[in-house]
Amino acid sequence: MKKTDLYEALRGRILDLSLQPGSALDEAALCAMHGVSRTPLREVLQRLAGEGYVTLEANRGAAVSSMDLPVVRGLLQTAPMIYAAIARLAAENAGAGGIAALKEAQRAFRGAVAGPDPVAMALHNHRFHEAVGTMAANPYLMPSLRRLLIDHTRMSRRFYDARTAPERAAIRRACDQHDAMIAAFEDRAPAVAVDLILDHWALSRDGIERFVTPDPLPLDPTQEMKDAI
């Protein structure tokens, strides 16, 4: 397996939560699973660490980046600022190539929304927003956006795992917001793009808050057990 393929495989497993946040990475097991030696694996882990997917500690090895309370708090605080700045710059710098990439990413996202797989929806949403960042063409904001998208994508699994009619409607609304953003970028309308992306963030923010807030315990657990029997 080439290092690029190994990188994509590990990156995908982190984003889809196959590798759980905070979990230790067993180098021997990963080498056996992917058919590589430790040298290319460690080079890939170094790259993933530089991008924020994993952490490396002396004498402890590699672990998947956590999603503990400070991480979630930081995400909720900074995401609106980063997304708004990216959207404004993307609208100002929009070009034919960037718009085409966005439309391609949106077609894939809309196709995923038509299916039942929340992982596919989360990953295609990640691709869409990364394409927005590429079009913004800012070397200072892009690393922040990419780091943000790691945790946003992992946490958005709950948003895309729709269980009720209102939750499914929210996903369709998110999809429509992508189309509206593309139109705003084509029109070079920064203010409209910012409003749209903040509304879009608000949808997933509610899902993230549900992700970190457990469902309340029943007032009478024994009664719930009886009802289930």
pLDDT of residue 222: 55
Alpha carbons within 13 angstroms on the beta-carbon side of residue 27 total: 14
Interhelix angle 3-15/118-136, rounded to 10 degrees, is: 120
CB within 8 Å of 103: residues ≥ 6 apart: 182
Q: Is 117 exposed, middle or buried (0-12, 13-18, 19+ CB in 10 A)?
A: middle
CA 77 – CA 32 distance, rounded (Å): 40
- What rounded mean pLDDT belongs to the chain? 91
Listed by start position, the domains of the chain span 3-64, 69-212
CA 228 – CA 196 distance, rounded (Å): 43
- Three-state DSSP at 62 gives strand
- Three-state DSSP at 24 gives strand
pLDDT tens digits for range 174-218: 999 999 999 999 999 999 999 999 999 998 887 677 666 655 666
Provide mean pLDDT across the span 106-133: 96
pLDDT tens digits for range 25-40: 999 999 999 999 999 9
3-state SS, 107-160, equals HHHHHHHCCCCHHHHHHHHHHHHHHHHHHHCCCCHHHHHHHHHHHHHHHCHHHH
CATH no., domain 69-212: 1.20.120.530
CATH fold, domain 3-64, is: Arc Repressor Mutant, subunit A (1.10.10)
In this structure, what token pair is assigned to residue 9? 């495989």
* Predicted confidence band of residue 57 (pLDDT cuts 50, 70, 90): confident
Alpha carbon distance, N-terminus to C-terminus of the chain? 50
Say if residues 129 and 84 touch (Cβ distance below 8 Å).
no
pTM of the model: 0.87
Alpha helices in the chain (DSSP H): 3-15, 27-34, 38-51, 69-93, 96-113, 118-136, 141-155, 157-160, 165-186, 190-212, 221-228
DSSP 229: -
CA 5 – CA 3 distance, rounded (Å): 5
